[in-house]
Structure 1
Amino acid sequence: MSIKTPKLTVVGAGPGDPDLITLKAIKALESADVVLYDALINETLLAYAPNAEKIFVGKRKGCYAYQQEQINELIVSRAKSQGHVVRLKGGDPFIFGRGAEEIDYVQEFGVETNMVPGISSSLAVPAYQGIPLTKRGSSESFWVITGTTKSHKLSQDVRLAAKSNATVVILMGMSKLNEIVSIFAAENKQEVPVAVIQNGTTDNEKFGFGSVQTIEQVVLEKELSSPAIIVIGDVVQQRAKLASIQKEVQKEFVN
């Protein structure tokens, strides 16, 4: 029996819709001996690794199956004992996914490392709601910011972003929504459109549209919660126009 090379492949699973995984990611799963997967991945993707050991290492609202240090050690131990470990993460692992941290750690133990990018939820979730993050005449750039930093505080970059005309996408920011809208309101942006999209690209997706001034009330009325993405900017209003056009088309078909 040949000894397998200890190997880690960090794989982006995409934002939730299982069809948004890449072919390269599927190939990595098919060759996996062990899959360590997070809470936000679509578990139907595990079928691509029928013969692999599958270990849930995710976290939900502060409830950790494993601490990050334990995950790092588990990757090394499984790679040494079983061969190819696939670390399956939601979205893109290099966008607030700690994928680079895991690669840096295991390289110290002589484990071969690879990375398969995923479609980031920061791009795909707004797109599924028809929201273009950039649009000629409305937005020339966009920020993608974490709502919760390592110190569990709101990123200071939100204050900088609020001063710009860019589209602002905030991940993991629902617990800080009041603080976020206060920052934008302080820049006289009460009327700027806002979207909150929960479980984006999945079958149980929920969403709410409003403005900096109204979005907190919308979130309450629609009972929106994490995991959700907050999109702030004029491009959100572009989506509203698109939706009304689609409704008119649907009416024509019904009639």
Structure 2
Amino acid sequence: MTDSTPPAPSLPPSLPGSSWPALQPGWVWLCGAGPGDPGLLTLHALNALRQADVVVYDALVQSAILEWAPQAEHIYAGKRGGKPSARQSDISLHLVDLARAGKRVLRLKGGDPFVFGRGGEEAQTLIQHGVNVRIIPGISAGIGGLAYAGIPVTHRDVNQSVTFVTGHDQSGEAPGSLNWRAIAEGAQVLVIYMGMKHARRIADALMEAGRPADEPAAVVCNATTPEQQVLETTLSRLADDIDASDMKPPAILCIGRSVLMRQVLDWQALAAGESPRDLDPLGRGRPAEVS
């Protein structure tokens, strides 16, 4: 006879000694959970998890993170493209209702709540209804997710700027309000959130605006999690290579020469015993420490 008792949830880690803020009844803390790996959670987020009566969480929040709030009610409020999901107005007003009921509310969002996460809308709704709010930033997938893939969003031999854009608008289509020509001409490195579905239209728009067809590009799916997948390709091959792969959203797209740095900075492959593919992928011809 086998024991079918589910394992007990892991206890939340202890916080180092400090004067941590208290999550008071009737407050909503709007918090970023980071790109996936629970270790990328901030200490303020952990402090909130330990105190919350209710955790209202998004689709990309890992279950291991929710286990750190065993005392709280967990309410799913995820929104995924092409799947049934709650209306944003209903989510925002539910937060208001929970706060007015005297709950200690943690609104937990993937990445950073203010980076393509509708955190600004939710916080504004709460404040308009007289609810006290605290904002807790998180590591955005466009930075942390690419770092786990070994792709730096800035590198002084490549770029002095980086542009973040969303791959779809409120209707779910490729954003028509974006000036792709201006982005193509001004973005040394381009990071696209939620752009997998419209990768072909985006790549075509960028190439029509002058981006080279052979520009390095990468797709990072399920960033920072054990299911992480990385595809290295070029702008012209981006859509075809996605179609030929088994990769599924959520994904971050990166376009620019910084993608080449993965050939030397794929630290997860190095930790597994692999050798760097190219110690000088940018062709500098001198050691990295030499300006």
TM-score (norm 1): 0.91
Structure 1 residue identity aligned to 2:212:
K
Aligned to 2:28, which of 8, 13, 33?
8
Q: Give the alignment of 1:76-155 within 5 angstroms.
A: 76-155=96-175
Matched, 1:240 2:263: yes
Q: Give the structure with the higher percent helix.
A: 1
Checking the alignment, whether the CA contact within 8 Å between 1:11 and 1:115 is kept in structure 2 is yes
Residue type of the alignment partner of 1:89: K
Q: Is the alpha carbon distance of 1:128 and 1:157 closer, same or farther for their aligned partners in structure 2, counting shifts above 3 Å? A: farther
* Structure 1 counterpart SS, 2:204: helix
Asked if the contact 1:58–1:64 (Cα under 8 Å) also holds between the matched residues in 2, the reply is no
Tell me, in whole angstroms, the C-alpha distance in 2 between the residues paired with 1:246 and 1:199: 20
When residues 160 and 86 of structure 1 are mapped into structure 2, their CA distance, relative to the original with a 3 A threshold, is: same
Q: Provide the C-alpha distance between the structure 2 equivalents of 1:158 and 1:218, rounded to a whole number of angstroms.
A: 22
* Distance apart, 1:84 and its partner CA: 1.2
Query: CA distance change for structure 1 residues 247 and 205 in 2, over 3 Å: closer, same or farther?
Result: closer
Whether 2:185 is the aligned partner of 1:163: answer yes
C-alpha deviation, 1:72, in angstroms? 1.3
Deviates more, 1:4-13 or 1:239-248: 239-248
From 25, 38, 41, the equivalent of 2:61 is: 41
In 1, the alpha carbon distance for the partners of 2:29 and 2:153 equals 30
Give the Cα–Cα distance (whole angstroms) in 1 for the partners of residues 273 and 254 of structure 2: 26
RMSD: 2.2
SS at 2:191 equivalent: strand
State the percentage of identical aligned residues.
36
How much does 1:149 deviate? 1.5
The AA in structure 2 aligned to 1:163 is: E
Deviates more, 1:79-88 or 1:118-127: 79-88
Q: Which moved more, 1:31-40 or 1:236-245?
A: 236-245
Counterpart CA distance in 1 for 2:216 and 2:222 is 20
The one-letter amino acid of 2:246's match is E
**Cα drift, residue 248 of structure 1:** 11
- Aligned residue in 1 for 2:202: 180
Stretches of 4+ moved more than 4 A in 1?
243-249
1:34·1:82 contact (CA, 8 Å) conserved in 2? Answer: no
Task: State the distance in 1 between where 2:55 and 2:28 align.
Answer: 10
Q: Paired residue for 1:192?
A: 215
- Name the CA distance, whole Å, in 2 between partners of 1:190 and 1:118: 34
- Given candidates 71, 78, 81, the residue that maps to 1:58 is 78
How far 1:157 moved relative to its partner? Answer: 4.2
- Following the alignment from structure 1 to structure 2, what is the Cα–Cα distance between the partners of residues 108 and 91? 25
> Would you say the 8 A contact 1:8–1:85 is kept in 2?
yes
By how many angstroms is 1:240 displaced?
2.1
Stretch deviating more after TM superposition (137-146 or 104-113): 104-113
User: What displacement does 1:30 show?
Assistant: 1.1
The alignment's TM-score, normalised by the length of structure 2, stands at 0.80
Q: Which is further off, 40-49 or 85-94?
A: 40-49
Residue 274 of structure 2 aligns with which residue?
A: 250
Following superposition, the deviation at residue 129 of structure 1 comes to 1.1
Which range moves more in the overlay, 83-92 or 155-164?
155-164
What is the aligned length? 249
SS at match of 2:243: helix
Map of 2:228 onto structure 1: 205
Structure 2 match to 1:218: 241
Distance 1:247 1:30, change over 3 A: closer
Partner of 2:11: none
Aligned partner of 2:13 in structure 1 is none
Distance in 2, matches of 1:64 and 1:84, equals 28
Contact map agreement 1:6 1:112 (CA 8 A) in 2: yes
1:79-113 CA-partner distances (Å, limit 9, x unpaired): 11142111000000000111111111111222111
**Structure 1 residue matching 2:198: 3-state secondary structure:** helix
